[in-house]
Structure 1
């Protein structure tokens, strides 16, 4: 038998994902600020690309939170 769909803590979990993603993004930016002249262009490019994906993920998480809020009010 399938478990009922309990979405009551989805927003909380999404917010935890947002917080973690922001921490990773900030750490990567700090790393670049401190070591940009010491790392290879490939590593720098990789970090910048990952941060772009993180920004996209943050946007998706925030949209999902808005969807959850809308679903909860229906």
Structure 2
């Protein structure tokens, strides 16, 4: 039998923000792609309720993009 009792360190991981800008830019890119895909789906949707839901979700996505961009500026200023 093997002993699976292991001791784990409680040492926290260091705060590595070196790639935050890249991650945020990737999130912006992905969100823009999601907006475009949702807008394409609007053309295939007959339900007014679904159209309103898609439009509302895209509006929230646009707000998220603005927040991401603000964070990118903050991170870039901190790295300078």
Task: Report the TM-score when normalising by structure 1.
Answer: 0.89
Question: 4+ residue stretches of structure 1 with deviation over 6 A?
Answer: none
Unaligned runs of 5+ in 1: none
Equivalent residues, number: 70
Question: What is the CA RMSD across the aligned residues, in angstroms?
Answer: 0.9
Q: Which residue of 1 aligns with 2:20?
A: 10
Q: Which residue of 1 aligns with 2:70?
A: 63
Q: Structure 2 CA distance, aligned partners of 1:62 and 1:24? A: 17
User: Which structure is higher in RCO with an 8 Å CA cutoff and minimum separation 6?
Assistant: 1
Indicate the structure (1 or 2) with the bigger Cα radius of gyration. Answer: 2
Task: Report the TM-score when normalising by structure 2.
Answer: 0.82
Unaligned runs of 5+ in 2: 1-10
Q: CA deviation at 1:40?
A: 1.1
